[in-house]
């Protein structure tokens, strides 16, 4: 039987980052994934293909906007096959690159599906159909998540999509319903809307992006209302039925004007569920939480002394960078280093246009947890750079602990919010005070100045906004 010191099951951003660090630390490691190369959901059917398509969506939208500035382009002609090829090429390039890094690091890579026989052995069904057993010293479970299915809506129809099939871009439906106003629904809705679909978003909560601060969401909603034909909040879908014309959808909610509407396609994006079934976890001492995630401690160790778990399968922020960060902690734990996964801030980005991002404590969380905070907001109407971009719709805000003046969180809505939020994450992690941020010289003219000026606002001294501090 083959033996390995460390077996990593799942080659997503959690698993491959863990495998690469393990190799860099000199540990002998085996990485197992179903695909030819690592990448997981993030690279094959998540972050990367969606961002490639969102890049195109932004280009289309901007080409229309350009009319205002005296540049008129003809209506875009969309070659969907070529667009699909571009997205597939991006995925192939990046996953192929990861495959090369596996070889360079001399990681043993097994393409197949792994299952625990017990706490020291895996059985692997390889993609070529053969079976292999692998004995391990330690294992890291990184099997990720899949789109959540609602049994009542699981129609066997090509008109029903999840995020994976939506990314395949089979066609551009005339009328698309996006069921779920979370980030995946809004991102994919933005793609299809730019490509020409008439998009309706339905969300049962009172706001899009439930969880994100309202002032940020309001800015995004204003733009999305112009792009999407309907945004139905506080509204439930109670029935989906396939008819000859399409999918007949019944809505229930306070403000529903048309309780039954027909759509060419429906994208169901109501969340993601951890992959814990079929792994043979019952043959180990790994335990599952009430919500179905694998329970782990701060070292990413499960209740089985030999098995660690990371990424979407352990819940929390189900994001690629969180998975990678946990992967590194798990590997260092295996290597015997003194580490813990205790981030002060995990950034979250919604790659719509405008982008929306936050990090650290949000205003919602402060209110829920009874934490007293002071919030300062810098409207992008006062930013030189946003004016040059004709994008003054943004907002940068800081969440500050009044007594210590420490930055506890940051929120941004506006183009490039996803790039800008990294500064907030660093500020929170380094326990920066709002003075530190205000005194840091930022390049001009950039959107990053909005971070500095929001810090200046705390003192009533923002250069471009006259708002003296009330004493
Ligand atoms: P995954 O990426 O889910 O990888 C798990 C891997 O394990 C898969 O390859 C799977 O095939 C493999 N596997 C499962 N079971 C077995 C088994 N028994 N044996 C062997 N292999 C197995 N996150 C962001 O941070 N930013 C974004 O912009 C973003 N956009 C997204 C857009 C979409 C449309 C979607 C769906 C997700 C997006 N995410 C984004 C979320 C991100 O993709 C996940 O958080 C991330 O991929 C989780 O990483 P992971 O390592 O936990 O697992």
List, for residues 104-131, the tens digit of each pLDDT value. Answer: 999 999 999 999 999 999 999 999 999 9
Spatial distance between the Cα atoms of 366 and 47, rounded to a whole number of angstroms: 29
pLDDT tens per residue, range 165-176 = 999 999 999 999
Q: What is the reported pLDDT for 228?
A: 98
- Is residue 9 lining ligand 1, measured as CB closer than 6 Å? yes
Please give the pLDDT value at position 456.
98
Interval 60-89 mean pLDDT: 97
Q: In this structure, what DSSP letter does residue 469 have?
A: P
Query: Closest Cα partner for 327 from 5, 2, 23?
Result: 23
Percent of the chain with pLDDT over 90: 97
For residue 261, give the H/E element and its range.
strand 260-263
- Find, among 110, 102, 140, the residue nearest to 279 by Cα: 140
Looking from the CA of residue 124, the nearest atom of ligand 1 is 19
| CA dist., res. 191 & res. 210, Å (int) | 21
Question: Which residue's CA lies nearest to atom 15 of ligand 1?
Answer: 143
pLDDT at residue 391, rounded to an integer = 96
Residue with tokens 């960060």: 325
Ligand 1: distance of its center to the CA of 314 in Å?
A: 12
Residue 255 is predicted with a pLDDT of: 79
Residue 354, preceding bond cis, omega within 30 degrees? yes
Q: Compute the Cα dihedral for 91, 92, 97, 98 and give only its sign.
A: positive
Give the containing element (helix H, strand E) for 438: helix 434-439
Contact 455/469 with Cβ under 8 angstroms?
no
Is pLDDT above 80 for 447? yes
Does pLDDT of 180 surpass 90? yes
Which of 46, 132, 278 is the pocket-test mutation for ligand 1 (most atoms within 8 Å of CB)? 46
Q: How deeply is 113 buried, as exposed, middle or buried, from its count of CB atoms within 10 A (0-12, 13-18, 19+)?
A: middle
Each residue of 420-435: pLDDT tens digit?
999 999 999 999 999 9
What pLDDT does 254 receive? 79
pLDDT in tens, 354-390: 999 999 999 999 999 999 999 999 999 999 999 999 9
Any atom of ligand 1 within 6 Å of the Cβ of 319: yes
**Distance (Å, whole) CA 118 – CA 263:** 48
In angstroms, rounded to a whole number, what is the distance separating the alpha carbons of residues 37 and 6?
19
Q: Is the CB of 142 under 6 A from ligand 1?
A: yes
Atom of ligand 1 nearest to the CA of 112: 20
Residues 6 or more apart whose Cβ sits within 8 Å of residue 349? 355, 356, 357, 417, 418, 421
Q: How far apart are CA 438 and CA 68, in angstroms?
A: 35
Ligand 1 and 314: CB distance under 6 A: no
Q: Catalytic residue at 444?
A: yes
Candidate list 55, 442, 444, 464, residue with the active-site label: 444
Ligand 1 atom closest to the Cα of residue 41 is 2
**pLDDT tens digits, one per residue of 274-287:** 999 999 999 999 99
DSSP string, 291-348: TSPBP--TTSB-SSTTEEE-GGGG-SS--HHHHHHHHHHHHHHHTT-------S---E
- Quick check: CB of 35 below 6 Å from ligand 1? yes
The reported pLDDT for the residue numbered 448 is 98
> Would you say the C-alpha torsion 210, 323, 366, 369 has a positive or negative sign?
positive
Q: Is the CB of 11 under 6 A from ligand 1?
A: yes
Q: Is 42 in the pocket of ligand 1 (CB under 6 A)?
A: yes
**Per-residue confidence at 256, pLDDT binned at 50, 70, 90?**
confident
Does 95 score more than 80 pLDDT? yes
Per the prediction, the chain carries an average pLDDT of 97
CA dihedral of 349, 351, 355, 360, whole degrees rounded to 10: 0
Helix, strand, coil shares, percent, the chain, to 5: 35, 25, 40
The pLDDT of 197-218, averaged and rounded, is 97
Neighbours of 354 (CB within 10 A): 23
> How would residue 22 be classed by pLDDT, with cut points 50, 70 and 90?
very high
String of b and e for 55-85 (b: at least 16 CB within 10 Å)?
ebbbebbebeeeeeeeeeeeeeeeeeeebbe
pLDDT interval class at 24 (50, 70, 90): very high
pLDDT score of 1 more than 90 = no
Q: Evaluate if residue 349 carries a pLDDT over 90.
A: yes
> Are residues 356 and 349 in contact, defined by beta-carbon separation less than 8 angstroms?
yes
What is the Cα–Cα distance from 290 to 279, expressed in whole angstroms?
18
Structure confidence at residue 470 (pLDDT): 80
Q: In ligand 1, which atom is closest to the CA atom of 32? A: 20
- Give dist(CA 190, CA 205) in Å, integer: 20
pLDDT range class, residue 154, cuts 50, 70, 90:
confident
C-alpha 421/C-alpha 216 separation (Å) is 13
Q: How far is the CA of 420 from the centre of ligand 1 (A)?
A: 24
* Bridge partners (DSSP) listed for residue 239: 250
Which candidate, 42, 263, 269, 247, places its Cα nearest to that of 149?
269
Distances in whole angstroms, Cα of residue 55 to Cα of each of 226, 403, 437, 455: 19, 42, 31, 31
Nearest to 48 by CA among 135, 175, 167, 169: 167
């Amino acid at each position: 039987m083959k033996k390995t010191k460390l077996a990593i099951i799942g080659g997503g951003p959690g698993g491959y980052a863990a495998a690469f660090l393990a190799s860099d630390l000199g540990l002998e490691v085996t990485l197992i994934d179903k695909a030819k190369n690592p990448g997981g959901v993030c690279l094959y059917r998540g972050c990367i293909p969606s961002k490639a398509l969102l890049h195109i969506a932004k280009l289309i939208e901007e080409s229309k906007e350009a009319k205002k500035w005296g540049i008129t382009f003809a209506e875009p002609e969309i070659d969907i096959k070529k667009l699909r090829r571009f997205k597939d090429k991006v995925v192939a390039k990046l996953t192929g690159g990861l495959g090369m890094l596996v070889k360079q690091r001399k990681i043993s890579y097994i393409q197949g599906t792994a299952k625990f026989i017990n706490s020291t052995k895996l059985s692997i069904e390889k993609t070529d159909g053969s079976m292999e057993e692998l004995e391990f010293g330690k294992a890291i479970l990184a099997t990720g998540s899949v789109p959540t299915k609602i049994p009542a809506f699981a129609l066997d129809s090509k008109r029903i999509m999840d995020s994976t099939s939506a990314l395949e871009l089979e066609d551009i439906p005339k009328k698309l319903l996006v069921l779920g106003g979370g980030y995946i629904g809004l991102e994919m809705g933005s793609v299809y809307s730019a490509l020409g679909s008439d998009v309706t978003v339905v969300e049962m909560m009172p706001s899009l992006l439930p969880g994100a601060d309202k002032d940020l969401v309001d800015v995004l909603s204003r733009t999305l209302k112009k792009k999407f034909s309907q945004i139905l909040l506080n509204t439930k879908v109670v029935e989906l039925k396939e008819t000859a014309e399409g999918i007949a959808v019944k809505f229930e909610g306070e403000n529903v004007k048309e309780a039954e509407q027909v759509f060419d396609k429906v994208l169901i994006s109501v969340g993601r569920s951890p992959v814990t079934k079929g792994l043979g976890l019952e043959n180990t001492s790994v335990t599952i939480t009430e919500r179905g995630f694998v329970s782990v401690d701060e070292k990413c160790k499960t209740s089985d002394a030999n098995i660690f778990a990371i990424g979407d399968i352990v819940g929390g922020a189900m994001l690629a960078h969180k998975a990678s960060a946990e992967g590194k902690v798990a590997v260092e734990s295996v290597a015997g280093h003194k580490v813990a996964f205790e981030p002060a801030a995990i950034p979250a980005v919604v790659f719509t246009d405008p982008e929306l991002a936050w990090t650290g404590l949000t205003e919602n969380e402060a209110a829920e947890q009874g934490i007293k905070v002071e919030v300062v907001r810098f409207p992008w109407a006062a930013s030189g750079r946003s004016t040059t971009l004709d994008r003054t719709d943004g907002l940068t805000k800081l969440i500050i602990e009044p007594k210590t003046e420490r930055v506890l969180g940051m929120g941004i809505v506006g183009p490039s919010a996803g790039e800008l939020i990294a500064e907030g994450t660093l500020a929170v992690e380094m326990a920066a005070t709002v003075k530190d941020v205000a005194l840091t010289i930022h390049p001009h003219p950039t959107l990053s100045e909005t971070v500095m000026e929001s810090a200046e606002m705390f003192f009533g001294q923002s250069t471009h906004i006259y708002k003296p501090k009330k004493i």
